[in-house]
A = this chain, B = another copy of it.
Amino acid sequence: MDICKHCQSKSLAANKLVESEIEELEHSCVSVDFLQGEIIFKQDALSSNIIYIRTGLVKVHIKGPDRDQILKIAKGPTYLGIPTTLGDKVNNYSATSLTHVSVCFVDIRTFRHFIENNSEFAYEIILDLCKEELSYYHRCVNQLQKHSAGRVADALLFFADEIYLSKTFNLPLSRSELGDLTGNSRESVSRILAEFNQQQIIQLKGRGIAIINHSLLKEIGKKG
């Protein structure tokens, strides 16, 4: 079928694979589509495949002592959950689709095989892991030290600048999920968004958001 060979959303690592490896990949890779709100993989279940998000938006979330914590919003094309698949026998967190999502499940043995036989592939995976970890450090420190409004501001900027690349977008999360992402209660999120709306920093209509004063939002995000 040449699915992988001509895949439009190949990863940097997959680009390092040679012809024969691409062929191997095609035989041990399954493409699955998810509707919005479906569980792609679940915390505590056995982890047996490397997940590659071709298109769509996914939330990665983990059970906290109190409530669900959204670790990140991932946008295809990207690998998802390499750490939880290679680093442990069971998933340390869950992934749920936020939009229609197209996913490739790659057999872990094949993936491992690539790492062991193609050092360029391995190096790209290592770089990816490193960058992920660095960005997570920054995210986490921001979460820990900023005040609620700053965290919500950051989240809005993240969606505008990194996910939708537009000042106008529809939030793919409920208020409650936005709380799980930013470490706020549902009510606080509501209040903060209402406040931003009031101050003409954003224009709010349900989940529809238009960022009006981008620089001020950035200021709020920076100050905490």
Contact = CB atoms under 8 A, between A and B. Distances in A.
Contact of A92 (B65, B71, B137): B137
Interface in A61-115: 62, 64-67, 69, 71, 82-84, 86-88, 92-93, 112, 115
B224 A65 contact: yes
Interface stretch (A141-149, A157-165, A187-195): A141-149
Nearest to A85: B130
A33 interface: no
A116 B115 contact: no
A121 to B, nearest CB: 9
Interface in A123-137: 123, 125-127, 129-134, 136-137
Contact of A62 (B87, B137, B150): B137
Contact of A126 (B117, B126, B133): B126
A143 B223 CA distance: 21
A134 B92 contact: yes
A205 interface: no
Interface residues of A, number: 47
Count of identical protomers in the assembly: 2
Interface in A174-207: 183
A134 B223 contact: no
A125 B128 CA distance: 13
B87 A130 contact: yes
A122 interface: yes
